[in-house]
A and B are shown apart, each in its own frame.
Chain A
C-alpha cells in the first residue's frame, strides 16, 4: 500500500492531484501579497497589516533561472539526485517565487516561458511516505 504523500513543509502549499496551490496572504490594508504566509505585512507605510489567507495563481512567467550542478548540503533531500534547475517565477501582483523547475531540458530553458505550479515527489522519507515539493512546469500546451 502506498502511503499518503506529504509536503516538505506544512502550510507552504496544498496539492490537488499533480497540481500544487501555493498558500499566500494578502494584506487587508495595502493589498501586498506574500508567500509563504508571514506573521505581518512588511510594508512600513501600511498601518492595518491584517492578513487574509489567499491561494496564489497556478500559472506564472519564468523571469530567471539557474541550474544547480552540485548537490546541496544534507538538509535538502532528493532521491536519485541529478543536476536540476531552479527558476524564479512571477505570479503577478508583485509576487516572485523561487522553485525547482520540472519538465524543462536543462540546456534549453527560456526566460519568459509560461509555467504552471505542480506538486512532485522529491524523496521517500524514513516512514516510506513520499515527500513532495512544489515545482514549476511548462504551462499546458507549451
Chain B
C-alpha cells in the first residue's frame, strides 16, 4: 500500500445460534457498532466491501454489500463483494485498505455476516457432478469431511513430532480459558483435559471439543485515511502490513476439498496462508519474533500446534512443549488467540477473519479488558479459506 491506512473502529455481533435474526440484522448490528466506535456515520462512508461468498466460484450464500446499503443507507458508494471462503473477511479488509491507500475514498467498511447450517459443512451448490469438481469427488469417493483432512494432518504430526492426545486437548483447553473473558464468544465454560478427551472421537485423533463447530455471527471494520482520523480524533490502530495469498505449486498440505496433491520439495505447508503472512510482516518491516498477539484460524487443535511453527513464531516441533508449558498464554512468547479462537466461537465463515481483526484492534488499543495482553504492540492475523485462499494482517498501536 502506498498511503497510510488506519482502522478507525470495529464491532461485532456475539457468536451463537440466532435462528430469529436474519444475516442482514447481524450485519447491521456489527456495522453500527463499528461506525459508533469510529465516531463516523453512513454519509462519511465511500465504500462498502462485503465478505460475501463462502466458497470459490460465487457459489455461496453470503450477503452482498448492496443488500446492506439498500437496507440502511441508500447513497452513492462503491459496493464490492469479494469471495474467498473463510478467508473472505481478510480479502474484504485488504480490498478496503487499498481503496483508501489509493485515494479512491477516505472511509471504507469491510464486513462479514453469516448464518451457518448445522453439522458438517456440506458441498456448496453449483458444482459439476464429475471429476472436474474436487468437492464432488471427496464426498462420493470417500466421504471425507473437513475434520478428516485436519485429522490426517494431526496423525502425521503424531508420527513426526510425537504429539500426544493430552497436548492436543491442552490446546483446546487454552482456547476456552481465554474465551471465558470474551463476551462475544459462544463457548465460554472452562474445560478440563479429561472433558476434552472424553468428548466423542470425530476423526482420530481429533475429538469433538478439538474441532471448531459452526456458528452465526457478524463483524465489521471501519478503515480511514489519516486525515479523517485527525478530524474525528478516533483512537486508531495502524495497518502495518496486509496481504492475501493463494496456494503455491507443490504444497504438502492436505487441502480441502482436493483428494490428491502433487507434492514437490521446498514448498511451505499451507502456502496460501504462510506466504501472505510473510508478505504482511515484510510490508510492516517486522519479523515473527516481534508478534505479541496472533489471531489464527484454529479449525482444530492441530492447527494451534502447526501454524505457530509455520508462521515462524517457534521452531518446527516446538509448539507441543510451548502448549504444555503455557508458552502461548497471555504471558507466553506470543499470545495465541486471546479471543478464544474458532474453537470457542465456532466458525461463521465470511465473518471470521474480520472478527480476528476486531480482536487485534482491541489488543493494540489496550481495550481488551480482562483478556488484554500486557504491552501488546504488534498483533497479527492468519486465516485460511477453502479453495487455497489465505490472508494475514499486521496491526500496530
A residues contacting B by CB (< 8 A) are 8-12, 32-37, 39, 42-45, 63-73, 75-78, 86, 88, 94-100, 111, 133-134
Q: Are A36 and B263 touching (Cβ within 8 A)?
A: no
Q: Number of contacting residues on B, CB 8 A?
A: 43
Instruction: Flag if A44 contacts B159 (CB, 8 Å).
Output: no
CB proximity of A11 to chain B, nearest CB, Å: 5
B131 touches A73 (CB 8 A): no
Inter-chain contact A76/B159, CB cutoff 8 Å: no
- Chain B 123-153 interface 0/1 with A at a Cβ cutoff of 8 Å (1 = within): 1000001111000111111111100100111
- Judge if B254 is at the interface, Cβ distance under 8 Å: yes
- Contact B136–A9 (Cβ < 8 Å): yes
Q: Check: B259 CB closer than 8 A to any chain A CB.
A: yes
Determine how close the nearest CB of chain A comes to the CB of B278; give it in whole angstroms: 18
Instruction: Please report the C-alpha to C-alpha distance between residue A8 and residue B259 in the assembled complex, in whole angstroms.
Output: 14
Contact at A66–B203, with CB atoms within 8 Å?
A: yes
List 13 additional A-B contacts (Cβ < 8 Å) besides A9-B129, A33-B262, A66-B152: A9-B136, A32-B262, A42-B249, A66-B203, A67-B204, A68-B144, A75-B136, A75-B139, A78-B143, A86-B148, A94-B262, A98-B254, A99-B141
Q: In the complex, are the beta carbons of B120 and A73 less than 8 A apart?
A: yes
Q: Is the CB of B122 within 8 A of A73?
A: yes
A9 to B134, CA, bound (A): 11
Please measure, in the bound complex, the distance between the C-alpha atom of A88 and the C-alpha atom of B156, giving whole angstroms: 10
A133 CB contact (under 8 Å) in B141, B201, B263? B141
Q: Which of A39, A65, A94, A100 contacts B250 (CB 8 A)?
A: A94
Cβ–Cβ contact A69 & B201, under 8 A: yes
Q: How far is the CA of A63 from the CA of B261 in the complex (A)?
A: 13
The answer to whether A94 touches B159, judged by C-beta atoms less than 8 angstroms apart, is no
Pick from B122, B152, B250, B261: contact of A86, CB below 8 A. Answer: B152
Closest to A65 in B: B155
A98 and B119 CA atoms in complex are apart in Å by: 23
A72-B130 in contact (CB<8A): no
Residues of A within 8 A of B145 (CB): 68, 70, 72-73
Among A9, A33, A34, A111, contact of B141 (Cβ-Cβ < 8 Å):
A9
Of the A-B pairs whose beta carbons lie under 8 Å apart in the complex, a sample of 21, sorted by A's number, is A9-B131, A10-B130, A32-B262, A34-B260, A43-B249, A45-B249, A64-B152, A64-B153, A64-B159, A66-B203, A70-B145, A71-B143, A73-B122, A77-B140, A86-B142, A95-B261, A95-B262, A96-B260, A100-B142, A111-B156, A133-B142
With A72-B145, A73-B119, A98-B142 known as contacts, the answer to whether A67 contacts B203 (CB < 8 A) is: yes
A12-B131, A72-B145 known; A94-B263 Cβ under 8 A: yes
CB of B140 within 8 A of CB of A76, answer: yes
Q: How far is the CB of B292 from chain A (nearest CB, A)?
A: 34
Asked if B120 contacts A72 (CB within 8 A), the reply is: yes
Q: Which of A32, A72, A95 contacts B143 (CB 8 A)?
A: A72
Q: Shortest Cβ distance from B126 into chain A, in angstroms?
A: 14
For residue A87, which residue of chain B has the nearest CB?
B152
Q: State A63–B260 Cα separation when bound (angstroms).
A: 13
Cα(A98)–Cα(B368), bound, Å: 43
Q: A43-B249, A75-B139, A98-B254 are in contact. Are A69 and B203 (CB under 8 A)?
A: yes
Query: In the docked arrangement, what's the CA distance between A69 and B207, Å?
Result: 10
Nearest 8 pairs of A and B residues by beta carbon:
A76-B143, A72-B143, A66-B151, A75-B139, A64-B156, A35-B260, A97-B260, A73-B122
Contacts of B137 in A (CB 8 A): 9, 12, 36
Q: A12 vs B129: C-alpha distance in the bound complex, in angstroms?
A: 12
Which residues on B sit within 8 Å (CB–CB) of A76?
139-140, 142-143
CB <8 Å contact, B159 and A68: no
Contact A98 B249 (CB under 8 A): no
Cβ-defined partner of B259 (8 Å) among A43, A68, A99: A99
Q: Name the B residues within 8 Å of A42 (CB-CB).
A: 249, 262
Chain A residues positioned under 8 Å from B154 (CB to CB): 66
